[in-house]
Structure 1
Amino acid sequence: MHDQLHLTTTWVGILSLIIFIVGYYFIATEDKYHINKAKPALITGTGIFMLIGLYFSLNGMDGHHLEKEVEHLIVEIAGIFFFLYVAMTYIEAMIDRGVFSALRYNLVSKGYSYKKLFWITGLLAFFISPVADNLTTALILSTVLITIDKENKEFLVPGAINIVVAANAGGAWSPFGDITTLMVWVAGKGEFVDFLYLFPASILGWYVTAFLLSRFIPDGEPPFNAEEKRAEILPGGKQIMGLFALTISMAVISHQVLHLPAMWGMMFGLAILKLYTYYLNTKLSVEVDTDGLVCQKLNPFSWIAKIENDTLLFFFGILAAVGGLHFLGFLEYFTALYTQFGATTVNIGVGFLSAIVDNVPVMSAVLKSNPDMGVSTHAQWMLVTLTAGVGGSLISFGSAAGVGVMGKLHGIYTFASHMKYAWTVLVGYLLSVSIWYVQFIILGIGA
């Protein structure tokens, strides 16, 4: 990477910051203006770099620097973009094969109450995300949530927040659970087992938030007709579930063992899914109608067509926008705060910044600047790992999991509906930080 430019006080820096703030405003007020969040994110991200390109051109600057920066950013965005692309395709495939309908039937037919279903989905999110990553986990369980009851917002909104918080908290104590934890691990700031010491802070912080949210869950049970036909997983459904687990494993192996991007393993998994559907189509039974034999063929492209493209484009836009601000030098101001206010204070603040901006570029800025963390260097890196992961839950689009659930529960789980209960997330966040302080600083466990 090239030396950081400092264009924050130039017209391009000031104008870019204004564009980012305006764009962020329209993202946050999606409910008010009914403008899909992908639109302001895209215009912000692409617009900032168009302005930077214009500035370079007008001032006769070497465009090679900008070109290299954009190439690096494209690789970073593509890694996330295609990871999500494949994960969403698999989820749509499982929806098509009745996997979530069957899970929903099994949960509802047992007579579980709304409150019990709330705790079951939260616990599943917390313990699946360390392996499957927080975004994939949130997408799967939010799909289950919306199939349980499509209309009861009193259940769906707290349930969605619970899944997002649980997925992010569960991802914080595993190197595979979140992109930011993976970045810290790969950078050598902690060994594999070091992240496991964040388990107490993660689970107790989530539990307190879940407990507070559960008080808003309505009594009673989801609507269930005793005569409702039992939902069964259709042919190929269980195999696709297995292929999805294999694909996630291939993503981890690609990154850790083969030195390839995680999305490479995901795309390999998509290729396997396509081959499997070809095989399945040759085995599926045919049914007879008045026209003769009709083959019930599966089409993977029909699954791809149903994925939340607005979520993918939102990520492209917001990561490009933050990448532009980083290129202009704005994130350097943030990392300079370590010297002025101390590592603990700033690392706690990282959680709040992660919620507003995005935890990936924030963590990237922290790692690139490699600030002086003081005497408790290891403990501080674990703190910033915890806060960057968990802090994203404070705002609905502060984490990949939140954005994914907003796409799944479109019009139900929104910025406004999340902020109504955001105080419960804040209480859990502050408790997680307090547990970290007692464990790492006072008791010295894991430090």
Structure 2
Amino acid sequence: MLKVIMTLLLGSLSLFASSASTTEIPDLTMTWVGFATLLIFVVGYYFVAAEEKYAIDKAKPALFIGTFMFMLVALYYSLNGLDMDLVHTQAQHLILEIAEIFFFLFVAMTYIESLLHMGVFDTLKYNLISKGYTYRKLFWVTGILAFFISPIADNLTTALILSTVLITIEKTRKDFLVPGAINIVVAANAGGAWSPFGDITTLMAWTAGKGVFTDFLFLFPSAILGYLITAFLLSKFVPNVVPDFDATKEVKPKMHEGAKVVMALGVFTIFCAVMSHQVLHLPAMWGMMFGLSLVKVYAYGLKKKYGHDHFNIFHSMAKIENNTLMFFFGILAAVGALYFVGWLALAAIVYDPNVLGPTWSNIGVGFLSAIVDNVPVMSAILKANPTMGLDQWMLVTLTAGVGGSLISFGSAAGVGVMGKLHGIYTFGSHMKYAWTILLGYIVSCSVWYLQYEVLGISH
């Protein structure tokens, strides 16, 4: 027992010492390890994008490059006698960043599978289709719901819920599923951009003090108009026919006992995540894990009352898409390695008025966030901290959030939907309609310019 206590104390002291280190990270971009990490990332990214062509799950190349790149950097440090404490500290910070997203996603997926098991989505599907809605009307209903739910529930959870509704409505028609999936991703990302806790990037900007709560609400016109343009164009590709469904022949599904309580616990879990971050200054995933503990306790009560097979939370956990979780780990680790080497720090140079200046740089952030990932891009910008006013910080918040929709795995919402509609919503199917998202992105930036730079409406 004494040995365990001493080990924990020494580990705590080591953690404190490493975190207290103020040693500057050396720039390794022009070294062999700098070029190697960049090359490995590009090659790995190619295999992620070509998932359909090579029939390889995107998690495999992502996990390989994420772990290998960081090990390569650590090897370079060791061979050249550099400060190994820096490697340890950067790895710890990276693990914390990944864990926040990893466990947040884990709980969200568990709730989705639980609600699926309890017949909630079958009931929702029946209620939507039995009304006689066409595929096009269903397209609009799911999109509008995504836009207005994501500011509260966050874009990832919203996209997971509504993509599950999509796949329960229709399992084969790609002319409905692909535009419908893109519509949900774009709506969830746009909806999350005008709320301080609707997306991870907005959370980062908010907690860094780049704007107060109400400042983000002024992004609503840019977000909704950009989304509506994309949705209008996408809707033209959706068949305007009623799904093959005869309500008189179908047995109306019934939700399992306790389903409504599980739904309520899901909403309360999101509330706990928000409160954890805003009030308690804990990671949002802390509140999510607390919510998971509550539904586990409730599941125990249901098991005692209705039997073991009525609702087993561990069965729901077993069904989540682990490949999506592994992809997140790999891609965030890979981007963390690029940041550690120094490639992401180069982004600060373009903010110089003699290069691109803040406006064009922030518009470019949208495209960069689609290729890399909006979280590390926003992290790099916040660390570089270029001199910008409120208008520019709101622009980069908008573009980092909305720009992630340009590529299927450019945002957490897109990755989540790719997992739900595996083999249907892919990189290739997304890129066929990417031009509609680009037009919406241009509209969002134009509305921002009119509102902030021409009319001066910002707070």
Aligning the two structures, in what range does the TM-score lie when normalised by the shorter sequence? over 0.9
- In structure 2, list runs of 5 or more residues that go unmatched: 1-21
Query: Where in structure 2 are the equivalents of 1:32-431 lying within 5 Å?
Result: 32-225=53-246, 226-284=248-306, 296-339=309-352, 340-373=355-388, 377-431=389-443
Deviations 1:258-302 (A, max 9, x none): 111111111111111110000111222x6xxxxxxxx54422111
| Cα displacement string for residues 57-104 of structure 1 (whole angstroms, at most 9, x for unaligned residues) | 111222001100100000000000000000000000000000000000
Q: Is this contact kept in 2: 1:149–1:223, CA < 8 A?
A: no
d(CA) in 2 for partners of 1:334, 1:365: 8
Matched length: 435
- How far residue 2 of structure 1 moved from its aligned partner, in angstroms, is 4.7
CA distance in 1, matches of 2:300, 2:377: 42
Amino acid at match of 1:251: A
- Is the CA contact 2:303–2:312 (under 8 Å) kept in the aligned structure 1? no
Query: Aligned-pair distance for 1:234?
Result: 1.1
Tell me which of 11, 14, 18 is aligned to 2:39.
18
Counterparts in 2 of 1:2 and 1:319: CA distance versus 1, 3 Å: farther
Contact 1:92 / 1:303 at 8 angstroms: preserved in 2?
yes
Q: Deviation above 3 Å: which 4+ runs of structure 1?
A: none
- TM, length-normalised to structure 2: 0.94
Tell me, in whole angstroms, the C-alpha distance in 1 between the residues paired with 2:233 and 2:367: 20
Provide, for residues 138-158 of structure 1, a one-character-per-residue CA deviation record: whole Å limited to 9, x for no partner. 000000000111000000000
Whether the 8 Å CA contact 2:296–2:313 is kept in 1: the answer is yes
Q: What is the rounded CA distance, in whole Å, between the counterparts of 1:445 and 1:428 in structure 2?
A: 21
Q: Is the 8 A contact 2:210 2:393 kept in 1?
A: yes
- 1:152-190: per-residue Cα shift (whole Å, max 9, x none)? 000000000000000000000000100000000000000
Provide the C-alpha distance between the structure 2 equivalents of 1:342 and 1:421, rounded to a whole number of angstroms.
30
* Superposition deviation, residue 4 in structure 1: 3.4
Whole-Å separation in 2 of the counterparts to 1:431 and 1:222: 33
1:2–1:206 distance in 2 versus 1, CA, 3 Å? farther
Contact 2:119 2:254 in 1 (8 A): yes
Note the C-alpha offset of 1:341: 1.1
1:432 and 2:454 correspond: no
> Contact 2:118–2:311 at 8 Å: present in 1 too?
no
CA RMSD of aligned residues (A): 0.9
Mapped partners of 1:178, 1:218: distance in 2: 31
Amino acid at match of 1:196: L
CA distance in 2, matches of 1:130, 1:381: 19
Deviations 1:5-47 (A, max 9, x none): 2001111111111000000000011010011000010011100
Q: Deviations over 1:375-434 (max 9, x none)?
A: xx1100000000000000000000000000000000000000000000000000000000
Change (3 A) 1:333 1:296: closer
Separation in structure 2 between the aligned mates of residue 227 and residue 84 of structure 1, nearest angstrom: 38
The one-letter code sitting in structure 1 at the alignment partner of 2:67 is T
The Cα shift of 1:334 comes to: 1.3
Name the CA distance, whole Å, in 2 between partners of 1:5 and 1:417.
41
Distance 1:3 1:279 in 2: 53
**Structure 2 partner of 1:292:** none
Q: Is the 8 A contact 1:122 1:162 kept in 2?
A: yes
Task: Report the Cα distance in structure 1 between the residues aligned to 2:26 and 2:357, rounded to whole angstroms.
Answer: 25
C-alpha contact 1:100 1:143 (8 A) present in aligned 2:
yes
Q: Aligned AA for 1:387?
A: T
Q: How far apart, in 1, do the equivalents of 2:26 and 2:200 lie?
A: 26
Higher deviation after alignment, 434-443 or 256-265: 256-265
Q: Secondary structure at the match of 1:246?
A: helix
Amino acid at match of 2:381: V
Q: Describe the SS at the equivalent of 1:341.
A: coil
Q: Secondary structure at the match of 1:336?
A: helix
Q: TM-score, normalised by structure 1?
A: 0.96
Q: Matches of 1:352 and 1:87 in 2, distance apart? A: 27
1:336 deviates by 1.1
Q: Is the 8 A contact 1:348 1:387 kept in 2?
A: yes
> What residue is the counterpart of 2:13 in the other structure?
none
* Percent of paired sites with the same residue: 66
Distance 1:167 1:52 in 2: 36
- 1:208-262 deviation line (CA, Å, top 9, x unaligned): 0000000000121112133100012111111100000000110111111111111
Counterpart CA distance in 2 for 1:221 and 1:274 is 39
- Unaligned regions of 5+ residues in structure 1, if any? 287-294
CA contact (8 A) 2:175 2:237 kept: yes
